[in-house]
Amino acid sequence: MDYTLIIAIATMGGLGFLFAGGLALADRKLRVEENPLIAKVNDALPGANCGACGKAGCYDFAVNIVEGNAAVNGCPVGGDETAQLVADIMGVEAGSAIKMYPRVLCRGGNSEAVSKLTEYYGPLSCAAMDIVSGGNKMCFDGCLGGGDCVEACPFGAMIMNENGIPEVIEELCTSCTMCVQACPRDVIEMHPEDRNVFVFCKNHDDPKKAKDVCSVACLGCGICARKSDGGVEMHDNLGVINYDKLDQNLIPFDKCRTGAIGHLRKAEESEN
Amino acid sequence: MATVTANPTYKLELTSSPHVHSRWSTKQAMWMVVFALVPCIVSAILFFGIYQLTIIAVSVGFAVGTEAAIKYVRKRKITLNDGSALITGLLLALILPPNFNLAFVALGSIVAIALGKEIFGGLGYNIFNPALVGRAFLQASFPVQMTTWEQPNYAVDSVTSATPLASFKFDAVGTELNTMLIGNIGGSLGETSTIAILLGGLFLIAIGIVNYRIPLAMVIGVILFGGVFWLVDPAAYQNPLFHLLGGGFMFGALFMATDWVSSPLQSKGMWIYGFGIALVLILIRLFGGLPEGVMYAILFMNAFVPLINRYTQPTVFGGAK
Amino acid sequence: MKLFKKAKTFHGGVHPNEYKELTENSAFEIMPNPAQIIVPISQHIGKPAKPLVKKGEEVKAGAVIAEPDGFVSVPIHTSISGKVVKISKESNVSGAPKHAIIIKANEENEVELMPSLNPDTLTPEEIRARVKEAGIVGQGGAAFPTYIKLTPPEDKKIDYVILNGCECEPYLTRDDRFMLERSNDIIAGLKLAMKALGVEKGAVGIEDNKPEAIDVMSVAVQDEPDIEVVKVKTKYPQGAEKMLIKAVLNREVPPGKLPLDVGVVIQNIGTAVAIADAVIKGEPELTAALTVSGLGINNPKNLIVRVGTPLADILEYCGGVKDNAHKVVVGGPMMGVAQFDFAAPVMKATSGILVLTEEEIKAHEETPCLNCGMCVGVCPLKLTPTKLARYAQLDKIDEAEKLGISVCIECGTCAYTCPANIPLVQWIRLGKERVNQLKNDKKSA
Amino acid sequence: MKLLVHMLATLTIIGILSGGLLSEVSKWAKPKIALHRKAETEKAIFLVQPDAKSQKKIETVDFEIYRVFDENNDPIGYALPYEGNGFQGNIRLMVGVKNDLKEIVGLQVLEQTETPGLGTKVTEEPFTNQFVKLVAEPNVGWVKGAPPKKTNEVQTITGATISSKAIVDIVNGGLQKLRDVKNSGVEL
Amino acid sequence: MELILIFFSAAIVNNFVLAYFLGICPFIGVSGKISSAFSMGLATTFVMVITSIVTWLIYHLILVPNGLEFLQYVSFILVIASLVQFVEMFIKKVSQPLYRALGIFLPLITTNCAILGLALFIVLKEYTFIQGIVYGVGAGAGFTLAITIMAGIREELDLADVPKPFKGAPITLLVAGILALAFMGFAGLISV
Amino acid sequence: MKTKLTLSKEYIKGLWENNPVFKQVLGMCPALAVTVSALNGIAMALATTFVLVFSSLIISTFRKLIPSQVRIAAYILIIATFVTLVDLIMKAQFPSLSKELGPYIPLIVVNCLILGRQEAFSSKNTVFRSVVDALGMGTGFLIALFVLGGIREILGSRTILGLQVLPDFYEPWLIMILPAGAFLTLGFLMGFLNTYTERKKRLEREAILKKHIKPISDTPINTVEA
């Protein structure tokens, strides 16, 4: 054993001891109570503190996840494993439910909805059209076809069909409800996946007017409501389904002149 | 649906208010800039020969081509008729040395459009002046060629000569100010003739396309900062007028720094920006390793524009002062 | 006579082509009653009125057909005599359809008036009651119920009533004509408003492009020491409340506050006339005075029409629309609403109908924003429209709110100037709507 | 308490192991590194003094300088490492001079941080060879853009004037220092 | 004067991020928002100053006298890591707002190569104690400058139509490249 | 819940899918600083891999003995030890290379790639898996640095690994061996790689869409489906 070795060992051992002691002491004296979930999430993260998530280190990212300000898969370092772990931790809180899907409750596409006499010029976003007398369609309640929901979907699960009405690709949908929030006309609603009867119209116009604006509008005739034994209620010229009381067999689908009430056409079923 | 009996035969428009507009359009403004560059092009040809037109043509051609290609790949509308790519190409050509290698011109032009503009999303989103990005790239890539200056063409053929700034910096040789005013000196194509630049620049200021604040702030700044050093030691530091007329200052002040996209929005910001460019420029010219610094000064301040815009945001009407 | 001072004004603004010469010399013409009127039950800001009539009911001109529902609401009168055809949702000049009472005219032409009152002996309460009863709303465009403006909260000290005679929107000459033809009624209306508010000082702000109106009004206020006529610079949007207060009194209304907060109440010229009519003649607000103009209409006119008259009838009356018409706008060209359905009826606050041609619109293709800063330079509220619009477009509402999007008055100067022709106002309106939506969400959460 | 001990022990042990390991490795590496350094210096000395066969560090002065000898062990000159400011940072070079300090024999740039591809050309032969047999009295000068006409001048590199001048300045500075030392009577 | 030159050299001419590639990770990661970028810059500057003090002391008082220069990296990083962690805990305890504004950036700084780089440069350049501190302040200021500029630009780019694959790190790197080009203008301004 | 990858996959994932530089944006400082030439890139990557593998080995072996409060300090200490080791060895055996990589060797200590892998992987996995993972990441790092260095070397000095590959009339772009060139090259490289991945994702999505979407006009308005 020579001098350098001893000094080296002593120095490093000493420094290690010193800082370990300091940290241990600090840990004890300076500990701050916080949401235990944060610590849990923090533990699941890689802890590289690289900042790749855009947050100030792993701990901050954990706080943001727990507070709902960051996505569980926001850590590029940890990749899918970490995302899964974090999602599991967070999932304990969220609980599980029946899968919900967005449903587009308007079928008044380009070939059904009546256009205005004037031609709209301006941004083709639904929200922007909505504030300029509702863009090109006469109907003031239906889908504008601008595709705000398609834009808003982070998973590419919505597409605009040829007729100018958005469709949901369930396989890609994660029920995030971004499309629902994006729609200025509230045409998109979240429904449990097992519901398949809807009134595909939001128009409250009186029968004559409704017929003038769209060929598939709910005319408000109320025939479905009368036959359904409470399964459909009329609200201001529009049939609204009360799913608690709904008995599909009572609904006279073939009596609805415009087909406003009907079954969900799932994209994949249309192939047959 | 009631209809007006005198309803016109075609569809009426439905748009948001306001329903009337002023006369200026982006396109017109852009073409005005092109028009204002004509004197510089003429001076380039006068002093450095008709061959310079090929440089301009190559630069413009590649700029326009690159823009079209990128727009095509990105499936965006090809908007060449707004003239912006043309301007970038022109500006780049005018700040290159005479008789510059055409392959380099093409490279610079591609870089200017691709890296300077399209990567940020195209016209309107670029942070830096595209032409200057192109030139900075060339300067960094081919420093020797970028600093080899031909003498104006009626002097002896293809003799390299230094720019007035370089002569002063490295050889302590001064240049007559009136020669610099006319432009019969070594330098980049469009940068030498102060008179031609002023002609185009003042035209743009007069019709309101270029805001006078930025060039004015730069001129005042250079006179101020340059003047202080000149007063301290007139032998070591040149007369501020020399800085105004030398190198790319005038061209930079009137055509580069005033680029709408990469300059501040607010009047106050424009003053800060102009003074900032002047300060950096004087620092580089007097103390840096390079004789010329307009390009770097403008690029440097371009980077600050988002911050300047943020901190010169005026209080809204009626807000606490 | 404190009249020939240098014209006062505010920061920013633009000066679009005026086109006032089309109608400024044509006196008001009374349009014959239409065959049918459509009376929206919501012609004002606030809660719609509640219909009092049923289908098939006969009503007499001047009768109340809908009563106010809630505090911010006014009664609606029928402007012609006839039979109620139906009550349904109908197109409307404001863009969105509203419930309206449709009345088919009969032969009767007599109007049911309220008792006439003596302006000199009225108490403030009586004035307010009459203004409310007559269903008067502000003529400036927003159609705020006037009686509320005359009922300031206790804690606000009001010291000035300003009449807005700027009419800064191009084309419109309605207020100009009012000032030329009914200057005494205007002053009477102003005095009533001042009395209702208990205010000593009054002013009439008029742009310097209407020298005749300034002259006539100055004559009218000769005997009124407390009322002055203030000449302000011709510049759009000089007629915006905040801008006018700044120009006349050099007071700035803080963001999110009302003129009330700086001690001022602003009334439109047309409102003053309506107040005078309601009190002195006992006439409820049955007619709308408006300018029909633009290069696309055959006979530009200043008209007085029955509230509820469909646009089609009016355009017809003015000789019809030319073939090169491109856009029909209700209101001024800067803030008005483009129309898509000519069955839509005129409302109380309608100030003009413009038929514009391409030549006047000068629309050009939209190009990306180049940060030229022109919108920033002209914004009378010192906002940064380009940023606000972009934030709204990308749904970055927080940032937009921080930059003061809610302060925007949608005057349109930015979009007017924008060389890139970006629909700035449309985006900003969208942003403002989103801000309100988020605020409401937060409140309800 | 147990945790505390655990923490202390962990870091301390790692520290001790690390210190021990490194000290041993360093013991092995140190002489080698020193050797490399020496070899490098020697190499540079023989490059700037191509006729030299041996060298010796002069210990009588407080700066680094080497005396070089030919095959007859006769002193033929000096090799002087010297440094100064370049365009962006320090430049360290080795210059070889004859006994009388009047003629430069060779030049090598040892360390520099000049602009790659441009300023770094001062390390390359076309430039450094100009210093071979260059008259160093009264000092070294430079010219721009044309071959030098005087025997004590070098041509600067196009586009890297400042770096070139920096080299000349450092050489002049080093030689001046040598002359001063010699003039003051110190035996070199 | 010399100290001023050291400061400007570290802050601008030889900017740590744009010329030495130090601290790139946080430069890319935390430059999304001006406010957090600025806080990050301040926190880094703070740690840099502390580091330059402590590592200078360790190097010159412990390592050099004992011929232990080879323990540089090990001892420096241990000191930096522990100090940063300690400071973070301290701030968290003392002031929540300060922690929110500054403290949360501290763990990220441990692995910021700019810090260790700074400590090593101070040794390499043989700075005195005072010079070392000034160098630390300068480097911190330079880092703050670079990251704040970048954040300003990135906030602006949020509004731009940047091609999707280039969003995030790639565009940040490209902007950094152009910035580095612009900073080349300062070359030769100070050679320290 | 967490499916274990096979060892080969554990290795391969680091090469491309989770490439430390291009995908995880880790270890940027050395990636940018030393890649003036392909050779430097390789050397740096090898040194990094050495440190990565050995620290993974040690840390995963003793992972249960290190208390979490001091784990960062402990890890970084171990890493620093290996870095010093590399540094000393390089100085002793490969002096010219050591001179070239200069001050960037010590900075391996703070390469977030290494600490990141320790935290994310080694501290939670068996020794063998950790080493395989480290090797994979190291190889990925090597690939990235080689590509980056290669491009810069070709364009900036028309050579690769010292061999001239571009003709003489090609004028080297000096910018490529300057700092700016490093940023630009890596930026473009990452962008183009992302373009490729985006394209793949888009094609995948389009395949799903194709499966599902049929022109809506084919379906009658109110067919009753159960």
Chains E and C touch (3+ CB pairs under 8 A): yes
Amino acid code (one letter) for F226: A
DSSP for A55-118 reads SSHHHHHHHHHHTT-S-TT--TTTHHHHHHHHHHHHHHHH-----EEEEE-----TTTBPBPSS
Residues with Cβ within 8 Å of A166's Cβ and at least 6 positions away in sequence, in order, are: A104, A143, A147, A149, A150, A158, A159, A160, A179, A188
Q: Select from 2.20.25, 1.10.3430, 3.80.10, 2.30.30 the CATH code of B26-310.
A: 1.10.3430
Question: pLDDT-based confidence at A77, cuts 50/70/90?
Answer: low
Q: Which range, of A78-82, B4-8, B192-196, C183-187, averages the lowest pLDDT? A: B4-8
Amino acid code (one letter) for D125: E
Residue E54 near residue A18 (C-beta atoms within 8 A): no
> Peptide bond before C145: cis, by omega within 30 degrees of 0?
no
Q: Among C341, C363, C430, whose Cβ lies nearest the Cβ of A127?
A: C430
Q: How many CB atoms lie within 10 A of CB C350?
A: 27
How far is B257 from B128, CA to CA, in rounded Å? 10
Whole-model pTM: value is 0.87
Question: pLDDT-based confidence at B152, cuts 50/70/90?
Answer: low
- Residue F213: what pLDDT? 57
Instruction: List CB contacts (< 8 A) between E32 and chain C.
Output: none
Q: Select from 3.40.50.11540, 3.40.50.2300, 3.20.20.70, 3.30.420.40 the CATH code of C1-33+115-360.
A: 3.40.50.11540
- Residue F226: what pLDDT? 32
Closest chain A residue by Cα to residue E90: A30
Q: Among E155, E179, E189, whose Cβ lies nearest the Cβ of B289?
A: E189
Strand partners, E57: none
DSSP for C80-129 reads S-EEEEEEEEE--TTSS-EEEEEEEE-S-----PPPP--TTT--HHHHHH
Q: Among D22, D86, D88, whose Cβ lies nearest the Cβ of E70?
A: D22
**Residue B200 distance to chain E (closest CA, Å):** 27
* For testing contact with chain B, the best of D88, D120, D162, D164 (most B CBs within 10 A): D162
Mean pLDDT of B25-52: 89
**pLDDT by position in tens, chain C (length 445):** 344 456 788 888 899 998 999 998 999 999 999 999 999 998 888 888 999 998 899 999 999 999 998 888 899 999 999 999 988 888 888 888 888 999 999 888 788 888 888 888 889 999 999 999 999 998 877 788 999 889 888 888 899 999 999 999 999 999 999 999 999 999 999 999 999 998 989 999 999 999 999 999 999 999 889 999 999 999 999 989 999 999 999 999 998 888 989 999 999 999 999 999 999 999 999 999 999 999 999 999 999 999 999 999 999 999 988 888 889 999 999 999 999 888 899 999 899 999 999 888 887 788 888 888 889 989 999 999 999 999 999 888 888 998 999 999 999 999 999 998 899 999 999 999 999 988 888 777 6
Q: Which two tokens stand for residue B259?
A: 């680029």
- Asked whether the predicted pLDDT for residue B264 surpasses 90, the reply is yes
The SS3 call for residue B205 is helix
Contact at CB, C95 and A133, closer than 8 angstroms: yes
Q: Look up the CATH superfamily of A36-90.
A: Electron transport complex subunit B, putative Fe-S cluster (1.10.15.40)
Interface of D with A (CB under 8 A): 3-4, 7-8, 10-16, 18-20, 22-24, 26-27
Delimit the domains of chain E by residue range: 2-184
Instruction: List CB contacts (< 8 A) between B119 and chain F.
Output: 191
How far is F160 from F156, CA to CA, in rounded Å? 10
Q: In which residue ranges of chain E is pLDDT below 50?
A: none
- Asked whether the predicted pLDDT for residue B298 surpasses 90, the reply is yes
- Residue A236: what pLDDT? 82
* For testing contact with chain B, the best of D161, D163, D169 (most B CBs within 10 A): D161
User: Smallest Cα–Cα separation from A26: which of C148, E93, C310, C47?
Assistant: E93
- Inter-CA distances, C104 with B1, C307, D14, Å: 17, 13, 98
CATH fold for the domain made of A101-263: Alpha-Beta Plaits (3.30.70)
Q: Which of A83-113 are b and which e, b meaning 16 or more Cβ less than 10 Å from the residue's Cβ?
A: bbbbbebbeeeeeeeeebbbbbbbbbbeebb
Which of the other chains make 3 or more beta carbon contacts under 8 angstroms with chain F? A, B, D, E
Residue A260 at interface with chain F, using a CB cutoff of 8 Å: no
- Residue B76: what pLDDT? 84
> Peptide bond before B18: cis, by omega within 30 degrees of 0?
yes
Contact at CB, A205 and C337, closer than 8 angstroms: no
- Asked whether the predicted pLDDT for residue F222 surpasses 60, the reply is no
Strands D54-57 and D75-85: unpaired
Amino acid code (one letter) for D186: V
- Residue C1: what pLDDT? 39
- Give residue for tokens 């929110």: E100
**Residue C295 distance to chain B (closest CA, Å):** 13
Q: Among D115, D145, D162, whose Cβ lies nearest the Cβ of B160?
A: D145
Mean pLDDT of B161-165: 72
Percent of chain F's residues with pLDDT above 90 = 23
Residues with Cβ within 8 Å of A36's Cβ and at least 6 positions away in sequence, in order, are: none
How far is B185 from C88, CA to CA, in rounded Å? 81
How far is C243 from C246, CA to CA, in rounded Å? 5
- Asked whether the predicted pLDDT for residue B27 surpasses 80, the reply is yes
Angle at C217 between CA C213 and CA C218, to 5 degrees: 115
Query: Exposed (0-12), middle (13-18) or buried (19+): which is C21, by Cβ within 10 Å?
Result: exposed
Mean pLDDT of B130-158: 78
Mean pLDDT of A67-93: 69
Delimit the domains of chain A by residue range: 1-31, 36-90, 101-263
Residues of chain C with CATH 3.40.50.11540: 1-33+115-360
How far is A138 from A157, CA to CA, in rounded Å? 28
Contact at CB, B20 and C425, closer than 8 angstroms: no
Instruction: List CB contacts (< 8 A) between A116 and chain C.
Output: 340-341
Mean pLDDT of B170-198: 80
* For testing contact with chain B, the best of F171, F184, F202 (most B CBs within 10 A): F171
Delimit the domains of chain B by residue range: 26-310
- Inter-CA distances, C417 with C64, C233, C364, C375, C420, Å: 45, 19, 12, 6, 9
Closest chain B residue by Cα to residue A133: B14
Q: What are phi and psi of C101, to 5 degrees?
A: -105, 125
Instruction: List CB contacts (< 8 A) between F41 and chain E.
Output: none
Residue B171 near residue D144 (C-beta atoms within 8 A): yes
- Residue A43: what pLDDT? 73
- Residue C299: what pLDDT? 93
ipTM entry: 0.86
Delimit the domains of chain F by residue range: 8-206
Q: Give, as one character, the DSSP assignment of residue F107.
A: G
- Asked whether the predicted pLDDT for residue F4 surpasses 80, the reply is no
Contact at CB, E160 and B283, closer than 8 angstroms: no
How far is A149 from A167, CA to CA, in rounded Å? 10
- Residue A268: what pLDDT? 47
Residue E184 at interface with chain B, using a CB cutoff of 8 Å: yes
**Residue B296 distance to chain C (closest CA, Å):** 21
Instruction: List CB contacts (< 8 A) between C425 and chain B.
Output: 16-18
Supply the mean pLDDT for chain A.
80
Contact at CB, A131 and C340, closer than 8 angstroms: no
Q: In which residue ranges of chain D is pLDDT below 50?
A: none
Alpha-carbon dihedral angle through residues E147, E152, E157, E159, given to the nearest 10 degrees? 150
Conformational region of residue C158, where left means phi above 0, alpha means psi within -120 to 50, and beta covers everything else = beta
**Residue A161 distance to chain E (closest CA, Å):** 24
Size of interface A-C (CB pairs under 8 A): 43
